[in-house]
Amino acid sequence: MKIPAIQIENLTKRYGEGDTAVDALKGVDMTIWPGEVVGLVGPSGSGKSTLLKCLGAVIEPTSGKMQLGGQTIFDGAWKIDDLRTLRRDRIGFVFQAPYLIPFLDVTDNIALLPMLAGVSNAQARIRARELLDALDVGHRAQAQVSELSGGEQQRVSIARALANHPPIILADEPTAPLDSERALTVVRILNQMAQQYQTAIVVVTHDEKIIPTFKRIYHIRDGRTYEEAGEGRDA
């Protein structure tokens, strides 16, 4: 039986208490399968960042259930003691800005995470080089971050997100600073990586250029999600 990479049931998140409480998530359901790239789209203040932060175990939901790869990680309370290790080994993050470390070269920016997870330095660098090749930036492996273009930096940040082969990648507006062509390239890469590594990727976006590329879209409005089949056009 196939196991969803992400399964969320009736998830809620309330910030604050009493009169000033904000119900940012009001009962979200979501199922995402390995190898899928799913869009999460909604207006400002609809709850996108809150949902992504709950999924990434960055903030604690108020109620509901979350499973990653069949393992319950939240069910009214965290079911896992070590959330840092969970984030490091099982969830990759891609942000709007690449946030690469300027004093490490491109290879070490990627190798750092597997090293922290206990992989030997040599193996971690081999893995980094493989990912850079897969993302078509192998020729920049020894470059300094400041020497890369914006599109190249974003590819390196995707390689970093994949470095521990996480089953899940959470991408928050990953194409916002890029022009159309580079934005579509990033989406094509995310789709290839999802297929190749059977990673489930959630992409929060406002970007009209990339929304038509998703096969499945969750719309979020006022803390509730609605699923829609996307157009799934080739990027």
Ligand X SMILES: Nc1ncnc2c1ncn2[C@@H]1O[C@H](COP(=O)(O)OP(=O)(O)OP(=O)(O)O)[C@@H](O)[C@H]1O
Contacts to ligand X from residues 61-100, by CB under 6 A? none
- Residue 178 CA, distance from chain mean position: 17
Residue 46, interface with ligand X (CB under 6 A)? yes
> How many CB atoms lie under 10 A from the CB of residue 6?
22
Of the ranges 32-40, 43-51, 125-133, 137-145, which one interacts with ligand X (CB under 6 A)?
43-51
User: Of residues 14, 26, 33, 49, which one binds ligand X by CB under 6 A?
Assistant: 49
Contacts to ligand X from residues 5-24, by CB under 6 A? 15-16, 22, 24
User: What letter would DSSP give residue 216?
Assistant: E
Residue 191, interface with ligand X (CB under 6 A)? no
Alpha helices in 117-233 (DSSP H): 121-134, 150-162, 180-197
Quick one: which H or E segment has residue 37?
strand 37-41
E strand map for 56-183: 63-68, 71-75, 91-94, 168-172
For residue 69, what are its two tokens?
């790869």
Of the ranges 38-46, 87-95, 101-109, 176-184, which one interacts with ligand X (CB under 6 A)?
38-46
CA 51 – CA 40 distance, rounded (Å) = 10
CA 171 – CA 174 distance, rounded (Å) = 6
Q: With respect to ligand X, which residue has the nearer C-beta, 74 or 197?
A: 74
Rounded least distance, CB 21 to ligand X, Å:
9
Rounded least distance, CB 24 to ligand X, Å:
3
Q: With respect to ligand X, which residue has the nearer C-beta, 16 or 102?
A: 16
User: Of residues 1, 44, 102, 118, which one binds ligand X by CB under 6 A?
Assistant: 44
Residues of this chain that interact with ligand X (CB under 6 A) are 15-16, 22, 24, 42, 44-50
